[in-house]
Structure 1
Amino acid sequence: MDKMIGVIGGSGVYEIDGLEQAEWTEVETPFGAPSDQILTGVLNGTRMAFLPRHGRGHVHTPSTVPYRANIFAMKVLGVTDLVAVSAVGSLKEAYAPGDFVIIDQYIDRTFAREKTFFGPGLVGHVPFAHPICPVLAEACAQAARMTGVTVHQGGTYVAMEGPQFSTLAESRLYRSWGADVIGMTGMPEAKLAREAELCYACVAMVTDYDCWHPGHDAVDVAQVVAVAVKNAGKARSLVASLPELLAGPKTDCTAGCGHALDSAIMTAPAKYDAEMVAKLKPIMGRVL
């Protein structure tokens, strides 16, 4: 099986020149509809799938993004390597607006979202100490450098519930934890990708200094959008470079992403809930 690269991000990411056989595809899932139709096509010989995380026109809040449906849809379409492109605020002076950060860790502060495909009758616990695929993250770092943007390889992402931005006290607290960036969509996306045994990496695009920075006004939407628009071209260039860096057959990930479920399911087979098994078999059939 050849690799298929999936990209979840904003509208600027999927408007790529040279995408052949481009088609918007409707995907139904047991968890409802994804954020939008998914744009599939072929770029430089590699199959691609693009999903606007908030929907075209930005219709979903960070809390209402249908994360389970999004990951499920990508998996059943054949995606093997999933790249998240996300706007974030910086919690460190060195991570300036306009910089890209290749995330390697998360602190999950969200509380109003469904965070797992598992449930009663099929209970599972995937390993998550290292939430990002290092192989895919390295490819993203290389692609980012090729755009000429300043790249920070490695960073801890605080996922907050939102949709409000942080208070000053919260921003200072997260800085005291040693976190690097803050955003609203990193979780549970990464957790669900691990349950679906996808290689997953996150390219975080810094848009602001949150509200902790003494020389920086409180964050507002206009500021975030202005920097995001400037970054859009570089984000497209990054994505366009991935087929060259990742082309070829999909082999077992050396980090074990494709075997995350090997020892994850706790429920005794005799106690499996048939409805849950039927629901999850399209993405977990390898172990079910």
Structure 2
Amino acid sequence: MTKTKLNVTARFKELRERAGLSLAALAKAMGYRNSSSIQRYENPDLYTKEFLSADIAKKLAQAVVGRGQPPITEEDVWSLARPETLSTRPRLIASFDPDNSSETGETALGFTREHWKPSEQGAIPEIDAKLGAGNGQNGEVINIPLRDQSISGHKVIAEWHFPPEYLHNEVKVSSNGAIIMEVVGDSMQPTYMPGDRVIVDLHQNTLTSDTVYAISDGFAEPQIKRIQRIPFTDPTEVRIISDNPALETFTVELSRLTIIGRICGHLARK
């Protein structure tokens, strides 16, 4: 029992030191006023639990993921929480294929876009998740059986059909690597209005140009924002920009940003 406690507290300290943060700096990055709020997580005599809570793991991840050498990953942090906490965290992007379901299965696995099959070739799925131009929504995550396992993913609520030539020549996206998402909120007005749909190219999940992307911090609901690289920053930093002029621009290290995909199409009522 003592070994487990020491392991958790020692690994917490190792992650902090690997991130290059003092205890006070980490506390601030996690949203606390001073180091006294988190110092017990490095002391096995003060912290007697076997695992970090999901809330602490989330705050720690937001503070250290992407820092250090090698860069700290979400898995590094969430391994300090209960195993079931990691496996049940909602996936931001996924879908399902009801035609592939069976009545067997025990283990829940991550489920991605390529598992879904359209009713007509070339269709793009709209998933039950919304891109926040303000506050997004993760939508309904469901579990379905698939052959000898079960899988978790977002429910597909609609199929959108486009001419293949249009997708290839104009939108420049492959239908088997794209999803449709609804926009909610007003932070991207007047460019993107509530109720608009966007085509998200999941293959373009790195920053290749200054444009609009579907993004997340890896934990919160997905957002639609304009991303601009800041020249000569090391590590690379980006500006996260809302098109609504009433809202402020803020800066973050690129390594701490999860890019879900590039916005390559816009479906709006005029």
**Range class of TM-score, shorter chain:** under 0.3
Please, what TM-score do these two structures have when normalized by structure 1? Answer: 0.24
Would you tell me which structure has more strand in proportion to its own residues? 2
Larger radius of gyration: 2
